[in-house]
C-alpha cells in the first residue's frame, strides 16, 4: 500500500509522524512482540509526505522553508516537543548577537535550525533542486518516509487583509495573524509545476491522506499546483479535520474560516475539500456534525483527534488507516 | 592627535586594541589613578582603524568579513582569547547541523558569529553601505574606536599558486595556506574606491600606524585602493613588523615572503613598505636587522613585539606611540 500524505506545519507533521510510526515500525519500536501483533506492520507500505512550500521565504540571506523543516524535524525525532516546530534543545546565540547588533529578530532562527537553512541555501545556490536537497537532509537525519516539497517552483502565499496584502510570514509570525483575512493568493500558481516526484507519488498512491493542516494556507497551496487537485481527486482521499470544537489546535485556521465567511467548524472544512474528499475524520467534540458531512457523500469517522503525545499520533494514524482501508475494501 | 591604524586580522586587531586602550582609557580602566599618571591619557586623541576587506566572501548565502569581525570583536572585548578570531564562549550548533545534513563546514561559523553575518547580510540586502553597517554594530557592541572597511567596493584577494588561482579563503582556510604562492591580485582594484570616510580619516591623521598584519594580503589590499598609498605616504607612518625571528606570529606572512622570493625577515617587510614608511618597530629577536632598515631612512624601535596578553597590547601600543611622537617632535 502506497500512502501519500499532504501536510503543512505542526499538525500535519505530527500526523505524518503517526503514519510513519505505523508504516515504518522497525524504526519506531524495539519491541519485537508489538511488531508481530499489529496487522499493519506485516504488510508492505510506503509513505510519501507532500509538504506545503507556500510559507517559504528568503530572510537574512537564507532560504527558509518552515513547513518542510517542521515535517523533517518531526519525522527525524528532532522536533521541539513543546512548540511542535523548531528543534529540541535549541539554542539562540545567533539571534542574541543579531539582536545585539540591532538586526531584525521577529522571525526567530535557532542555532541548530540555522544549520539547516545554511545547508539548503548553499545547495540551492549550487543549482540543486529543493526536492533533492530535502531528500539528502532526510537521508542524513534518518527520516524513513519520503518527504517531497509540493513544488520546486517559488509559490509564495500572499494574505489579503484589512491591512493590505501581506507575505505569509509577515502575516503569520510578524503580525501574529492579527489582520483580518479577506482572501489568499498563491503568487505564480499559474506557472508553478508540481515535480515529477509528486505526480508519480500521487499517481501510485492507494490512499491520499490530508493531514490536520490549515485548508487555506497549507493544503490549498499544494492542491492548487497544476493538476494536483484532479490527480488527488482520482484517488481515495481521507482527511483529518484541523478543527476541534470550533477551534484550531494551532494557527489561524478557525479565525480564517470566520473571516472568510464560514462557520469555524469541521463541516466547513469538509465542504472546502468536498470535490476530492471521500472520508473525513472529526473529533468526538464535533460528533454532532457527522450527519451534515455525510450528506456531502463523505464517510465520517468520529474519534479523539487531539495529538498530545507521540503515541497519540500513532493511535490516530492507525485508526485513520483502518477506517480508510476498511471502507475501500467494502467499496470493492 | 588623530591616529589611523591599518589592520588585517588577529595581529592587527590585537595591536588596534592596544591603541584603543591607550587612546580611550576610560573604557579600559576603572583605576582613576592610572588615568592621571599617564600623559597619553590626558590628551585628546582619536583612533580610526581602517580594515582590510580583501578576505571578504560570500558563503552559504551570507556575507563574511573575517578581518572586520576580528577587529570589531577584539575592540568590543568579545574575541576568543585562545584563537584571536571568533567569539569567546562560542557554540557550534549550526555547524553541527550543517555537518549532519552533509553541508560544507570547512569554514567554521560559530553560532554567535552567525548572528553578525546575518545582521550584515540583511543590512547589505537593504542597500546599506558596509561602512554604515560596521559603524552600527560597533556602536551597539560598545566599540569606542572608529572602524572603517578600507572600501565599500568588492575587492576580493586572489592568490596565484602552484595549484592555480585561489580565492583567498579557499587558500587560507580550506587549503591551510599549503599551496605555494606565486603572486597576489586584488580583483577589481582598478575600479574600487576608498570611501570618503577613509580618505577623510587619513587626511586628518597626525600619524598612520600599520599594524603587525600580513603585508601582502592585509595591508597591500588597503593601500592599493585608489590613491590611498599616496595619501598615507604624505603622513608620518609607523609600522609594527609582523615577523619575529623569521616567523609570522600567525598566518602565512613568512611563508609568503619566502615563496615570493624574499628573506622572511623584518627587513623584507620594511623594504615592502619603504615608499611610505618613516618608522618601523621590530622585535628584540631581530635587533641585528636595525642597521639594514635604518639604511632605508627608516627610524627603528627595537622592543618586545609579541602580544600574549591584553596588557601586552597596551604596553606595545604605548611604546609605539611614544616612539612615533617623540620622533615627530624631534623632526619638528
**Percent of chain A topping pLDDT 70:** 94
- Alpha-carbon torsion (B83, B84, B85, B89), positive or negative: positive
pLDDT digits (tens, 9 = 90+) for B252-300: 999 999 999 999 999 999 999 999 999 999 999 999 999 999 999 999 9
A101 has a chain B CB within 8 A of its CB: yes
pLDDT digits (tens, 9 = 90+) for B140-179: 999 999 999 999 999 999 999 999 999 999 999 999 999 9
Q: Which residue has the cell 611622537?
A: B325
E strands, B187-298, are 207-210, 237-240, 243-244, 247-248, 279-283
Distance CA B157, CA B66 (A): 13
Distance CA A161, CA A252 (A): 13
Residue A55 DSSP code:
T
Distance CA A113, CA A85 (A): 10
Chain B residue with the nearest C-alpha to that of A78: B97
Mean pLDDT, chain B, integer: 94
- Count of residues for chain B? 332
Distance CA A11, CA A44 (A): 26
Q: How far is CA B201 from CA B21, B47, B148, B150, B232, in A?
A: 20, 9, 9, 11, 10
Residue A151 DSSP code:
B
- β-sheet bridge partners, residue A283: A303
Q: Do residues B102 and B115 make contact, with C-beta atoms less than 8 angstroms apart? A: no
CB contact under 8 A, B95 and A115: yes
Q: How far apart are the first and last CA of chain B?
A: 15
CB contact under 8 A, A122 and B104: yes
- Give the A:B interface size as CB pairs under 8 Å: 128
E strands, B179-297, are 181-186, 207-210, 237-240, 243-244, 247-248, 279-283
Q: Do residues A210 and A163 make contact, with C-beta atoms less than 8 angstroms apart? A: no
Task: Give how far the C-alpha of residue B207 lies from the chain's centroid of Cα atoms, to the nearest Å.
Answer: 16
Cell numbers found for residue B280? 618601523
Residue A192 DSSP code:
-
- Phi, psi of B313, deg, nearest 5: -60, -45
Nearest to B233 by CA among B269, B202, B194: B202
Those residues whose C-beta lies under 8 Å from the C-beta of residue A162, and which sit 6 or more positions away, are A179, A180, A182
Distance CA A120, CA B60 (A): 9
Mean pLDDT, rounded, for A15-42:
68
Residue A149 DSSP code:
E
Comparing A20-29, A194-203, B145-154, which segment has the lowest mean pLDDT? A20-29
B64 has a chain A CB within 8 A of its CB: no
Residue ranges of domains in chain A, CATH in brackets? 2-81+129-330 (3.40.50.10680)
B313 has a chain A CB within 8 A of its CB: no
In Å, how far is A81's CA from the nearest CA of chain B?
18
CB atoms inside a 10 Å sphere around CB A269: 29
Per-residue pLDDT, B332 = 61
Q: How far is CA A189 from CA A56, A200, B248, in A?
A: 14, 20, 59
DSSP string, B300-326: EEEE-----SHHHHHHHHHHHHHHHHH
Residue A275 has pLDDT above 70, yes or no: yes
Residue A5 has pLDDT above 60, yes or no: yes
Per-residue pLDDT, A25 = 79
Nearest to B307 by CA among B67, B21, B14: B14
- The full 3-state SS of A62-87, as one line of letters, equals EEECHHHHHHHHHHCCCECCCCCCCE
pLDDT band (50, 70, 90) for residue A203: very high
Q: Do residues B164 and B135 make contact, with C-beta atoms less than 8 angstroms apart? A: no
Comparing A77-81, B23-27, B242-246, which segment has the lowest mean pLDDT? B23-27
Q: Which residue has the cell 585562545?
A: B82
Cell numbers found for residue A155? 509559490
Q: Which of residues 124-163 of B touch A (CB under 8 A)?
A: 125, 136-137, 140-141
Mean pLDDT, chain A, integer: 94
Residue A33 has pLDDT above 60, yes or no: no
Q: Do residues B201 and B50 make contact, with C-beta atoms less than 8 angstroms apart? A: yes
Mean pLDDT, rounded, for B129-140:
98
Per-residue pLDDT, A330 = 75
Chain B residues whose beta carbon lies within 8 Å of the beta carbon of residue A100: 115, 140-141
Distance CA B231, CA A89 (A): 54
Amino acid at each position: 500500500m502506497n500512502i501519500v500524505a499532504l501536510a503543512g506545519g505542526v499538525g500535519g507533521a505530527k500526523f505524518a509522524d503517526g503514519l510513519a510510526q505505523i508504516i515504518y515500525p522497525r524504526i519506531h519500536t524495539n519491541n519485537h512482540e508489538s511488531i508481530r501483533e499489529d496487522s499493519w506492520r506485516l504488510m508492505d507500505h510506503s509513505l510519501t509526505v507532500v509538504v506545503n512550500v507556500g510559507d517559504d521565504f528568503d530572510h537574512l540571506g537564507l532560504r527558509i522553508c518552515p513547513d518542510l523543516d517542521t515535517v523533517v524535524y518531526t519525522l527525524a525525532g528532532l522536533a521541539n516537543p513543546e512548540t511542535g516546530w523548531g528543534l529540541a534543545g535549541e539554542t539562540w546565540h545567533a539571534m542574541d548577537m543579531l539582536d545585539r547588533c540591532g538586526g531584525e529578530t521577529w522571525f526567530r532562527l535557532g542555532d541548530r535550525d540555522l544549520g539547516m537553512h545554511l545547508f539548503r541555501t548553499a545547495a540551492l545556490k549550487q543549482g540543486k533542486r529543493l526536492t533533492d536537497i530535502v531528500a539528502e537532509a532526510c537521508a542524513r537525519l534518518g527520516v524513513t518516509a519520503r518527504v517531497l516539497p509540493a513544488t520546486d517552483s517559488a509559490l509564495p502565499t500572499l494574505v489579503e487583509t484589512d491591512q493590505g496584502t501581506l507575505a505569509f510570514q509577515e502575516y503569520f509570525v510578524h503580525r501574529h495573524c492579527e489582520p483580518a483575512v479577506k482572501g489568499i493568493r498563491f503568487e505564480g500558481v499559474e506557472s508553478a509545476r508540481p515535480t515529477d516526484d509528486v505526480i508519480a507519488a500521487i499517481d501510485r498512491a492507494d490512499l491520499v491522506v490530508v493531514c490536520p493542516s490549515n485548508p487555506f494556507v497549507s493544503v490549498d497551496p499544494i492542491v492548487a499546483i497544476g493538476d494536483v487537485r484532479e490527480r488527488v481527486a482520482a484517488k481515495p482521499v481521507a482527511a483529518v479535520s484541523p478543527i476541534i470544537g470550533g477551534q484550531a489546535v494551532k494557527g489561524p485556521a478557525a479565525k480564517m474560516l470566520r473571516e472568510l465567511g464560514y462557520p469555524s467548524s469541521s463541516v466547513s472544512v469538509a465542504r472546502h475539500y468536498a470535490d476530492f474528499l471521500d472520508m473525513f475524520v472529526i473529533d468526538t467534540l464535533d460528533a454532532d456534525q457527522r450527519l451534515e458531512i455525510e450528506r456531502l457523500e463523505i464517510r465520517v469517522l468520529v474519534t479523539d483527534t487531539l495529538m498530545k503525545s507521540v503515541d497519540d499520533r500513532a493511535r490516530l494514524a492507525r485508526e485513520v488507516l483502518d477506517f480508510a482501508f476498511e471502507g475501500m475494501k467494502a467499496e470493492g
